[in-house]
């Protein structure tokens, strides 16, 4: 049995830069993993079956589970020809997921689980796929999945698959809140109210170039200056709980609060651990009887 820890992520900033002909959107985003994890146990078996079990009621345990899809795709690629080692016939696998990352929260929990399964199975099979090839396999499962194999904070472009390493981030304590409602990525993107006019495209271009210029010249980047999410307005209009939670957090914390991914989770940055801990305790007490979940975490650098 191999035990792995599957991290959450946040988008420190996220800009929608273009709508593509295929209906998807090109993005520019800074992503980093957090010290907030799901726990996954993986064991290859002899029954030629892929089995997934999860302790969260909203996570499916059949072939629709992305961890199941990851295992299935891994064995398909492993047995496809060149990757196969000798005449070895691959066995099935048992996957047990203990969820701590909220589901449908914009924290990449499912994508992270899929990436963790791919890396674990690769390790159990003598690292038959190099990292670059494993990332190619991961992309077939979703745009965010390769990031969790990449292994570093990254500037992401395209639909999120074009990654550039960014390791020079100033450390922060992150107060994270899941507002008790899951957001649909498809619905949020369908309802974005951003008109990509030439003026807006120029504004995005200037902001990103300014960030890239600082990134290239600086030994460390204060990401708190750049937090932004183009999807936030659409998500707040679709899900009033996100808007109300954001407004309440900003009122209580007297800090800028930003949504991550397509929602629904919200975050604020703290330099001082004592202040972060006090704010965390305050929100825990305030929302004790609600469906909201609060986490105090930090960047996984």
Which pLDDT band, with edges at 50, 70 and 90, does 81 fall under? low
Stretch among 108-112, 197-201, 284-288 having the lowest mean pLDDT: 197-201
Write down the pLDDT at residue 150. 96
- CATH 3.30.230.10 range(s) for the chain read 2-165
Write down the pLDDT at residue 20. 78
2-165 maps to which CATH number? 3.30.230.10
Q: Per-residue pLDDT tens for 207-236?
A: 888 888 888 777 788 999 999 999 999 999
Question: pLDDT higher for 191 or 301?
Answer: 191
pLDDT higher than threshold 80 for residue 13: yes
Write down the pLDDT at residue 82. 54
Residue numbers annotated as active site: 9, 144
Write down the pLDDT at residue 5. 98
Domain 173-298 matching CATH 3.30.70.270: the answer reads no
Stretch among 130-139, 191-200, 214-223 having the lowest mean pLDDT: 191-200
- CATH 3.30.70.890 range(s) for the chain read 173-298
Stretch among 4-13, 185-194, 237-246, 269-278 having the lowest mean pLDDT: 185-194
Count of CB atoms situated within 10 Å of the CB of 283: 22
Write down the pLDDT at residue 160. 85
Mean predicted confidence (pLDDT) in 248-253? 97
């Amino acid at each position: 049995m191999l035990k792995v820890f599957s991290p959450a992520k946040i988008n420190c900033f996220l800009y929608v830069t273009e709508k593509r002909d295929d209906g998807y959107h090109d993005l520019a985003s800074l992503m980093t993993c957090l010290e907030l994890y799901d726990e996954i146990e993986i064991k290859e078996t002899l029954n030629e079956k892929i089995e997934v079990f999860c302790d969260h009621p909203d996570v499916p345990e059949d072939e629709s589970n992305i961890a199941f899809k990851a295992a299935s795709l891994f064995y398909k690629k492993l047995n496809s020809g060149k990757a196969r080692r000798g005449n070895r016939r691959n066995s099935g696998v048992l996957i047990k997921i203990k969820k701590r990352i909220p589901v449908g929260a914009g924290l990449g929990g499912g994508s992270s689980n899929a990436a963790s399964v791919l890396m674990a199975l690769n390790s159990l099979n003598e690292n038959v796929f190099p990292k670059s090839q494993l990332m190619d396999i991961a992309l077939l499962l979703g745009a965010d999945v390769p990031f969790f194999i990449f292994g570093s904070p990254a500037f992401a472009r395209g639909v999120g698959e074009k990654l550039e390493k960014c390791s020079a981030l100033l450390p922060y304590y992150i107060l994270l809140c899941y507002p008790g409602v899951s957001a649909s990525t498809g619905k949020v993107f369908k309802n974005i109210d951003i008109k990509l006019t030439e003026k807006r495209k120029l504004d995005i271009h200037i902001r990103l170039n300014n960030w890239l210029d600082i990134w290239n010249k600086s030994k460390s980047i204060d990401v708190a200056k750049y937090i932004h999410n183009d999807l936030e307005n659409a998500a707040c209009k679709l899900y009033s709980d996100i808007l109300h939670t954001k407004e309440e957090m900003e009122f209580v914390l007297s800090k800028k609060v930003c949504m991550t991914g397509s929602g629904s989770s919200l975050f604020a940055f703290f330099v001082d651990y004592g202040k972060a801990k006090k704010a965390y305790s305050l929100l825990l007490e305030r929302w004790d009887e609600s469906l909201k979940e609060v986490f105090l975490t930090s960047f996984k650098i």
